[in-house]
Structure 1
Amino acid sequence: MDVEQLLRGANLRVTRPRVAVLHALHDSPHADTGTVIEAVRGRHTSVSHQAVYDCLHALTDAGLVRRIQPTGSVARYELSLDDNHHHAVCRVCGSITDVACATGEAPCLHAADPKGFAVDEAEVIYWGLCPNCQEPTATQNEKGRR
């Protein structure tokens, strides 16, 4: 991933904090702010928390980063790769994973009556249990049947 090219293509200055934030999100998709700060400070100990927040805001505004915030969760960030995907969120542990587009062409879902809106994007979040959290539930259910 050529982060300098990405930044220049979005008309943003190439700075150490911005480069570090993009690398952090490449290494940890769906990272919360704390995880991004930890990764950035691992590369550049002198980068402040505020600098990371400012970078996330600028990168999101420029369309290089996507901010997602499932209900009841802190904001998470991922690289915006124009791949038109949605997310599945585990109700137990809060893990998030990418899932392919629901159906149809971008923006994936077509509103039956958008009330005059020119819809150009749809965000879908699937809720359930991740594979790791299903295992204890299945085990508990089996014990309850005995």
Structure 2
Amino acid sequence: MPDVDFTQQLREAGLRVTRPRLAVLAAVHAHPHADTESLISAARALLADVSHQAVYDSLHALTGAGLVRSFKPAGSVARYEARTGDNHHHAVCRSCGAIVDVDCAVGHVPCLTASDSRGFVVDEAEVIYWGTCPDCAITAAAT
């Protein structure tokens, strides 16, 4: 994980610096694409007495401030990541559930142009690629 000043990030985003927010932000950076339960465990490893509610509140504040991004693959719980602002996408393995970042296919936000935006001014496109990760593909080929 790169050396990140979480205190400075919170201040620059206009958020009050609290121990739960610092723990949750560190957990999201350390565990990209983690679900809420995993982030609660990771935050508690850093701050033993952090409550479920404090983690949920922190995720809400961090997402609202743009420091954390939330996405929800179909049939899955919400996932969180610290990679924000670049409109990247995700690939999800149908077998093991692994999730990886996939850079934008075209390079200009929003990456995809709707054939008919129905009057919407589109500023972001969210794409999730579904398939089989390399490890699962090797395992399937071996059986």
With the length of structure 2 as denominator, give the TM-score of the two structures: 0.94
Output the amino acid matched with 2:89: H
Q: How does 1:1-146 map to 2 (within 5 A)?
A: 1-140=4-143
Give distance in 2, aligned partners of 1:13 and 1:66.
19
Q: Over aligned residue pairs, what C-alpha RMSD do you find?
A: 1.0
Give distance in 1, aligned partners of 2:114 and 2:107.
12
Give the number of aligned pairs: 140
Q: Are the aligned partners of 1:63 and 1:80 in contact in 2 as well (CA < 8 Å)? A: no
Alpha-carbon deviation of 1:131? 1.1
Question: Aligned to 2:110, what secondary structure does the other structure show?
Answer: coil
Q: Are the aligned partners of 2:21 and 2:58 in contact in 1 as well (CA < 8 Å)? A: yes
**Unpaired segments ≥5 residues, structure 2:** none
Percent of pairs with identical residues? 64
Question: Aligned to 2:135, what secondary structure does the other structure show?
Answer: helix
Residues 75-102 of structure 1 deviation map (CA, whole Å, 9 limit, x = unaligned): 1100143233110000011110001102
With 78-87 and 22-31 compared, the bigger mean Cα shift is at 78-87
Q: Are the aligned partners of 2:20 and 2:58 in contact in 1 as well (CA < 8 Å)? A: yes
Higher Cα Rg: structure 1 or 2? Answer: 1
Output the amino acid matched with 1:98: D
Give distance in 2, aligned partners of 1:83 and 1:122.
11
With the length of structure 1 as denominator, give the TM-score of the two structures: 0.92
**Unpaired segments ≥5 residues, structure 1:** 141-146
Question: Aligned to 1:120, what secondary structure does the other structure show?
Answer: coil
Q: Are the aligned partners of 1:56 and 1:65 in contact in 2 as well (CA < 8 Å)? A: yes
